[in-house]
Structures are given as C-alpha cells and as structure tokens.
Homo-oligomer: A and B are copies of this chain.
C-alpha cells in the first residue's frame, strides 16, 4: 500500500550530556519517519529544503532504498530549516537552543500528481491548517494519522480540533495530551481526544513507552530496555515511521483496528530503540531488517505471558 508523509527536513545541532555536541546533522520529522518506515514500505516524501542542503544529505536519504524522493523539493534561494537542541541529564527533557524556520515560513511543497493516490498518510508535526491542506489534496485515503506539538495546542487549538475531525489517528506526547485536554491521566486524556473524531490516539512517553487509547480498547507498551541512549532526537518520528510503515504492509483490511495499531506500535517501538543509539540516522543506516526482526522477537518474548 502507498504511504505518504509530509513533514520537515532539517539541519540539526544536538548537545547531549553523554556524547557531546554535534553540528550540521541531517534531521527533521519527515527524515526520521521515512528512514524508519522504509524498513517496511516505500514512503513518499513531501518536504522542501533550501539550496544550502548538502549533497551528502541527499546521498544519505538515497541510501535508504525504499524512500521515494520525487516529492522532495530543493528550492533555489531558500534556506533549509535549522534546529538546535540540548538534552538535560535525564535525556527526556530538552531545551531548544535555536530555531531558524527558513523555508518553513514559505509556501509548503506541492504534492506530486503521482502521489495523489496515496492510501496511508502521515502528517508529521506542522501547523494544523498545513496538515489539513495536505490531506485535502489526496483522494484515496485509507488511513490518516497526524502528529502535533505544544506550539499548535497553544496557538492553533481550534484548527487542531478541526484536524481531529478529519483523521483516523493522532500521535502525540504525554505532556501534550495533558496540555490539550487538561487530563493528566493518559487514558482519560486519550478518551477526551477520541470524542473529537479520531478512532485512536497513541500517547508517546519516551523511555516509558507508549499508550494506545482506541475506540475498541486500551494497550500499554514499554520502551525496549536499553542502556545505549546517545541522542533521543527523532525518536517519536522514528516510532511513527515504524508504526505507519508496518500498517501499510501488514495492516490488513482494517489497518486502523485496535489489533493492527497495537502490533504496529510495537514495531515503531523497536525502530525508535535503535534510533536513540546514535546521532541523526547513523544507527538506522547500518541497520538491516534482520536486526529489526531479532530485536522485535526479543521484545515479544520479553512481554509474552503464559495465561
């Protein structure tokens, strides 16, 4: 099944307590999403960069065989989005050092004609009206899922609420779920969000795993336990990439069902656990599908309970 994603491509600077500072890293929500989902599907990327975007980053993206780059626009005279962040000692909290929006302040990239039949849609974090605009250009949608962030809950809650009426699933962080709904309990927050339209809500808790609040049931999944946490940047987008990639190939007749989404969340969990082991896409680049399967099987075994 065809999978399309729209989101950011960025040039990141990351400071970590354990592994130091790295500048000029390939990053952005759509980048992590595509890299992760390419282990399952062939994601179609819709995103824009400026003419400062290094050729080496194009090579990195091309090294993931499954990613369709037709919708990646390199816009002359524009600047690629840049972001800098610094992680605190707990590796969960981070502080934004700088944000240079660049091309994100301009018109969004067009959706290529050849992408308009996409059935699986992931709207990575951006202004909800941009997300709605993207969704409205597609005419064969089978499953649409969006991410969001605290900024839009602050300044564009009515638009975000409008988006929720149009999508099948929402993926967001634990604290964003509380910010949106006023409910600190993730199950209560998730149920509140379901009332606004989606069939399921996935609440991401970083190192503490994720929670599924679906119209047909609840689930909680732990993160894969690991000591190797070098850089959590992009973990949420990698999780979403694994989730959507898996749904696109294994979601069956009803890819938004409780059981399909729960299974796919476990795949997202595994992809994210690899991603945090290095900066940027460095860990995912060296990864094989056999590595993914081996860790997935280990994870499944770890959670298997005899009844």
A221 to B223, CA, bound (A): 9
Give the chain B neighbours of A222 by CB distance below 8 A.
209, 211, 220-222
One digit per residue, 1 when the CB lies within 8 angstroms of any chain B CB and 0 when it does not, for chain A 80-95 equals 0000000001110000
Give the chain B neighbours of A305 by CB distance below 8 A.
263, 266, 296, 299-300, 303-304
- Taken together, the copies of this chain in the complex come to 2
One digit per residue, 1 when the CB lies within 8 angstroms of any chain B CB and 0 when it does not, for chain A 158-192 equals 00000000000000000000000000111110010
Q: Would you call A20 an interface residue if the criterion is a C-beta within 8 Å of the partner chain's C-beta atoms? A: no
Category for how many chain A residues contact B: 35 or more
Contact yes or no, A229 B307, CB < 8 A: no
Contact yes or no, B263 A226, CB < 8 A: no
Contact yes or no, B221 A303, CB < 8 A: yes
Contact yes or no, B219 A302, CB < 8 A: yes
Select A209's contact among B184, B187, B209, B307, beta carbons within 8 Å: B209
Q: Would you call A297 an interface residue if the criterion is a C-beta within 8 Å of the partner chain's C-beta atoms? A: yes
Contact yes or no, A227 B187, CB < 8 A: yes
Q: Would you call A283 an interface residue if the criterion is a C-beta within 8 Å of the partner chain's C-beta atoms? A: no
A230 to chain B, nearest CB (A): 12
A209 to chain B, nearest CB (A): 6
A220 to B225, CA, bound (A): 6
Q: Would you call A74 an interface residue if the criterion is a C-beta within 8 Å of the partner chain's C-beta atoms? A: no
A222 to B305, CA, bound (A): 13
Contact yes or no, B302 A220, CB < 8 A: yes
Give the chain B neighbours of A229 by CB distance below 8 A.
185
Select A208's contact among B184, B205, B262, beta carbons within 8 Å: B205
One digit per residue, 1 when the CB lies within 8 angstroms of any chain B CB and 0 when it does not, for chain A 213-234 equals 0000111111111110100000
Q: Sample 7 A-B pairs with CB under 8 A, ordered by A number.
A: A89-B184, A187-B225, A208-B209, A209-B220, A211-B222, A219-B225, A219-B303
